[in-house]
Structure 1
Amino acid sequence: MFLTQTVPRQRDIVEVLFRNGWDYMRRVLTGAKADDPQLPPPAVLKNILVDLGPVYVKLGQLLSTRPDLLSGPYIDELSTLQDEVPAVPWADIEVLIRKQLKRPLEETFAIINPVPVAAGSIAQTHRATLADGREVALKVQRPGIDLTVAQDIALIQGIADLVARTEFGQNYEIKAIAEEFTKALEAELDFTREAGYTDQLRRNLSESKWYDPSQIVVAEIYWDLTTEKLMVMEWLDGVPLLSSKFNKLENAEELAAERQAITTLLFRVFFQQLYIDGFFHADPHPGNLFYLRDGRVALLDCGMVGRLDPRTQQILTEMLLAIVDLDAQRCAQLTLQLADSRQPVILARLENDYDRMLRKYHNMNLSEINFSQIIYEVLQVARNNKIRLPSNMGLYAKTLANLEGVARGFNPELNFIDEIKPLLTDLFRRQLFGDSPVRSLLRTALDLKSLSLQSPRQIELLLDRVTSETLQWNLSLRGLDGLRRTLDDAANRLSFSILVGSLIMGAAIISSNPRSDQLSFLNNVLFAAASLLGLWLIISILRSGRLR
């Protein structure tokens, strides 16, 4: 059992769970009979993750992207988790950097600041200058973190195995969720993957019809110096967007105009990522959005990204419109289209839940509505109806929530509808006509021409088959297999009943006037056969449970 093992890390986890008073997990870990699973209060869960250490803080940050699994209070609490940890001494960091470089450290860098500008659970960042004078940022993996992550991943999977034995674990596929989280943690240990994400995002944002690409910056990666444990990238000099240092313009009107321009830029940049590129920066919190000294805006830390396929993009675009229209029926239909599985859902109940959820916004001004909160509530309604949505829906909702939160904090005059209305209009135009309306029109014209040429011949063939009586209809109706089996069973039982009755009637006729020993023997055989068949028929009916 879990508690009898002597691995120190396991004992530490058990002590933390017991100390914070999570009674349900106490019973699971001790092998006692557990009641219906209950999560600890949001603040307690946060404290447990903080006490368990940096890897579990990262796990909490990943959980904060899953509003389809957790309710709003948990998402809000876990979103405040920061993986700020004491910095690793420079001597240890220097050893790791030297191992990752192909050339001597002194020949590669002119200067490296030994004091980190940021320190996290997985890595810490130092400012440096290359030998050719270029300013760079070094993201260096914490020595030994890969072993710590491997141990904690094994323990997370062990706990998931325990919880998976409960009804709660089976309903929410806890083992699959644990596997998803552990893969995300393992991916963060490979900086070449994050570097690839950064490069792809940089390429995607370099072209747009919605904004000036020169106003948005993603750091350039220096691939000749980047490895799995060391990422070297362009140094971007600026301040966080919500920093009090953002006061470049003294004139209040100019400052307000600048804030509005940056707000519009951010919405257009992220809407392009979400609804056009299908590849998006999934962690736009205030620390990852920088205002550079030259007036541009930078996106930092591309380690967490999300992907949306074209079909999902189209559904989510329509979902935004349904939310704007407060259309509960359409929200329910679109949710079912997003669902991972075809499990039975009571559509009327789902529509009623959405109607109750949206009704409270009927009398509100659209400019006052928090749309990211509505999207969270949409996912929670789906969760309450046991509808499993793809995991990227959590990242999508979290991205919109972070974006709207930063935008409202940066620009209190934000009007969400005014920002997204032109973008939605253009998105629906793209869905109808594509990027090239002329090309789409020509393709449609060719399709109509082909249809007009083929239609007379097809109609002639149809009429010919109707008049010659060779037309056949092949119908396939779903859900009739059960009815067909029931009818087959009923027909078989009726046939057996008729057979039993015939045997009994034949035996009775023979027994009324037996003339020989052979007829008496036949009479007994018929009665025996009828008795056996009748008994079998009665037993089969009783076993089916349909004797009424």
Structure 2
Amino acid sequence: MTAIVNTRQREIVEVLIRYGWDYMRQLLTLGQGDEPEVPAPEILCMILTDLEPVFVKLGQLMSTRPDLLPPAYIEALSELQSNVPPVSWEEIEAVLQKQLPQPLEQVFERIEQVPVAAGSIAQTHRAVLKTGEQVAIKVQRPTVEDIVRRDIGIFKQIAGLLSGTDFGKRYSVVALADEFGRSLQHELDFTQEASYTDQLRKNLSESSWFDADRIIVPKVYHQFSSKKMLVLEWLDGVPILRAQLKGIGFEGDIEAERKAISTLCFRAFFQQYLVDGFFHADPHPGNLFYLRDGRVGLLDCGMMGVLNPRMQSIIVELVLAIIDLDADRCTQLTLQLADPMDINQPPNLAQMKSDYEKLLRRYYNLSLSNVNLGEVFSQILNAARQNNLRVPSNVGLLTKSIANLEGAGREFNPDVNALDEIKPLMRDLFRLQIAGEDPIRSLLRVALEFKQLSLASPRQFGFLLNRLSSETLRWNVAIEDLNTVRRTIDNAENRRSVSTVVAALIIGAAIVSTAQVTPQSQLIANILFGAASFLGLWLIYRILRSR
């Protein structure tokens, strides 16, 4: 295994030399380097593409983190695609046979040997079950598990070498490498994708915002699925941008159908983001299918995001703050979402508010139809990152998902806009934020919390009075930057003390000089005046230097 890793490291170094990324080459060969210099987005994408296949997947994962990378890198990495040739049918057949408890011919009527899609992790074949149902078989590439484990080890090693630099500390690169490693490992487990698919299918099966019969998530055939094999319902259609609309259900009105499909997709995703808290993180045009019966299919649930109720509430308020162009509120809400990146680098709130004002000022004279919600979210996260705030990764996934949705939506229907689509839903969103889906249950929960508070309050109040009467009450107060305040006070006191000494020396010298003049008294007066002058000039210098 060590020999394989060393061979892979040589391959990586050769690619880095070819593209002139000297810093990373030096880091891998010598184990040390100065502060990292990241190549231009296009060069980085070419490097990752040449390091196929795991590094391409790593780049795709990095594109979901606008809280870590500038917009130019996010845009470039979002276009990364695997150019891996498909695995031969003989190898795929061997994997299928190992994953199934019975021979292939007893499960499938036929399987198309030429894959309909091939990626770095898996490839997909069309098949027909013995029952006559058409399915898609997603099969893991035979050697991908070893390749992923090897490459994860290498970029964890790189993260370890970077951890001692300011860059590594600022971005917690070791923790990020662990996070990306776990994400890649999860993608190797198709049972998780099957669970995600079931959950999304259930969530979208009913809604008050859209016709749930018009959107479909493929059914999972669990009896034939496993960790390395996923069997899904075959959806007969084409990617949405290649759809030849016929006005199905709209009396042949193609534009009416186009508008209805746009609204359907946006509302289905708004429900995921703001109601369910469980959302598809990669709605690019290839994962949105227009079916031959006029419905819309949602494919590939391998990458999903989760938002807890608190985050959903903050996101709703953040959307309102963007609509109102309220920089103050955007700053407050970002603080609620994020944690400081490093205690040695406190967030610069004044600068962040100024950045938000500059950002939102661009939209002052624009109508909502010209505001790109995904772009604004991305710029808000970028401003937070530049001002030492780290936003949780699921918020980055949300931003990526919104950006992909808007991109696909505008290509399909240039007149569509996310903010216009969300405005009719605001009343429902407010009601859900205040009362929840079950007002009675929310009321009972609040009543129970009040009951617990009323029962605990007398005991806590009695305990407080007891501590006060026995003089055992202690206060633990933590004040940020207290040391800085203490040093400032100490400096002021020192300067006042020096100025008092200077004044005393001057007065003493004056008294001595006005007395009977003798050589000794004149010498003492000169010494006092000299000392006073020296200390006075030193004090003025220190004051001017510290401004």
Match of 1:352 among 351, 354, 367: 354
Task: Establish whether residue 479 from structure 1 lines up as the match of residue 479 from structure 2.
Answer: yes
SS at match of 1:224: helix
Post-superposition offset of 1:389: 1.1
Post-superposition offset of 1:307: 0.6
In structure 1, the residue matched to 2:50 is 51
Q: Deviations over 1:438-460 (max 9, x none)?
A: 66578879999999x99xx99xx
Task: Establish whether residue 371 from structure 1 lines up as the match of residue 373 from structure 2.
Answer: yes
SS at match of 1:111: strand
**Amino acid corresponding to residue 203 of structure 2 in structure 1:** N
Alignment of 1:6-45 (within 5 A): 7-31=6-30, 34-45=33-44
Alignment of 1:114-153 (within 5 A): 114-153=113-152
Q: Deviations over 1:203-254 (max 9, x none)?
A: 1111212112111111111111101111111111011111153456699981
In structure 2, the residue matched to 1:411 is 413
Post-superposition offset of 1:115: 0.8
**Amino acid corresponding to residue 153 of structure 2 in structure 1:** A
The answer to whether the 8 A contact 1:306-1:395 is kept is yes
Post-superposition offset of 1:263: 0.9
Name the CA distance, whole Å, in 2 between partners of 1:403 and 1:6. 39
Alignment of 1:468-507 (within 5 A): 477-479=477-479, 482=482
| TM-score normalised per structure 1 | 0.80
Post-superposition offset of 1:477: 3.9
The answer to whether the 8 A contact 1:239-1:245 is kept is no
In structure 1, the residue matched to 2:81 is 82
The answer to whether the 8 A contact 2:26-2:33 is kept is yes
The answer to whether the 8 A contact 2:340-2:347 is kept is no
Name the CA distance, whole Å, in 1 between partners of 2:480 and 2:414. 58
Name the CA distance, whole Å, in 2 between partners of 1:209 and 1:299. 19
In structure 2, the residue matched to 1:530 is none
Name the CA distance, whole Å, in 2 between partners of 1:54 and 1:366. 41
| TM-score normalised per structure 2 | 0.81
Task: Establish whether residue 183 from structure 1 lines up as the match of residue 172 from structure 2.
Answer: no
The answer to whether the 8 A contact 1:239-1:246 is kept is no
**Amino acid corresponding to residue 74 of structure 2 in structure 1:** I
The answer to whether the 8 A contact 1:129-1:136 is kept is yes
**Amino acid corresponding to residue 278 of structure 1 in structure 2:** G
The 3 A distance-change label for structure 1 pair 159 and 253 is same
The answer to whether the 8 A contact 2:277-2:309 is kept is yes
The 3 A distance-change label for structure 1 pair 106 and 366 is same
Post-superposition offset of 1:435: 2.2
Give unmatched runs, 5+ long, in structure 2: 491-545
Name the CA distance, whole Å, in 2 between partners of 1:307 and 1:292. 28
Q: How many residues align?
A: 479
Q: Deviations over 1:484-536 (max 9, x none)?
A: 9979x99xxxxxxxxxxxxxxxxxxxxxxxxxxxxxxxxxxxxxxxxxxxxxx
In structure 2, the residue matched to 1:60 is 59
The answer to whether the 8 A contact 2:314-2:337 is kept is yes
Post-superposition offset of 1:369: 1.1
Name the CA distance, whole Å, in 2 between partners of 1:480 and 1:18. 47
Post-superposition offset of 1:276: 1.1
Q: In terms of mean alpha carbon deviation, does 336-345 or 84-93 score higher?
A: 336-345
Q: In terms of mean alpha carbon deviation, does 58-67 or 245-254 score higher?
A: 245-254
In structure 2, the residue matched to 1:401 is 403
In structure 1, the residue matched to 2:520 is none
Q: In terms of mean alpha carbon deviation, does 376-385 or 80-89 score higher?
A: 80-89
> RMSD of the alignment, in Å?
3.3
Name the CA distance, whole Å, in 1 between partners of 2:419 and 2:486. 56
Q: In terms of mean alpha carbon deviation, does 173-182 or 203-212 score higher?
A: 203-212
In structure 2, the residue matched to 1:500 is none
The answer to whether the 8 A contact 1:217-1:297 is kept is yes
Name the CA distance, whole Å, in 2 between partners of 1:184 and 1:355. 35
Q: Deviations over 1:152-192 (max 9, x none)?
A: 11111111111212110111001111111111111111111
The 3 A distance-change label for structure 1 pair 378 and 252 is farther
**Amino acid corresponding to residue 178 of structure 1 in structure 2:** A
The answer to whether the 8 A contact 2:92-2:139 is kept is yes
The 3 A distance-change label for structure 1 pair 252 and 64 is farther
**Amino acid corresponding to residue 356 of structure 1 in structure 2:** K
Post-superposition offset of 1:102: 0.5
The answer to whether the 8 A contact 2:248-2:293 is kept is no
Match of 1:383 among 379, 382, 385: 385
In structure 2, the residue matched to 1:493 is none
Post-superposition offset of 1:415: 3.2
Give unmatched runs, 5+ long, in structure 1: 491-547
Name the CA distance, whole Å, in 2 between partners of 1:78 and 1:422. 34
Name the CA distance, whole Å, in 2 between partners of 1:92 and 1:33. 42
The answer to whether the 8 A contact 1:217-1:296 is kept is yes
Post-superposition offset of 1:26: 2.7
Name the CA distance, whole Å, in 1 between partners of 2:37 and 2:4. 25
Name the CA distance, whole Å, in 2 between partners of 1:263 and 1:25. 44
Percent of aligned pairs sharing the same letter: 53
In structure 2, the residue matched to 1:538 is none
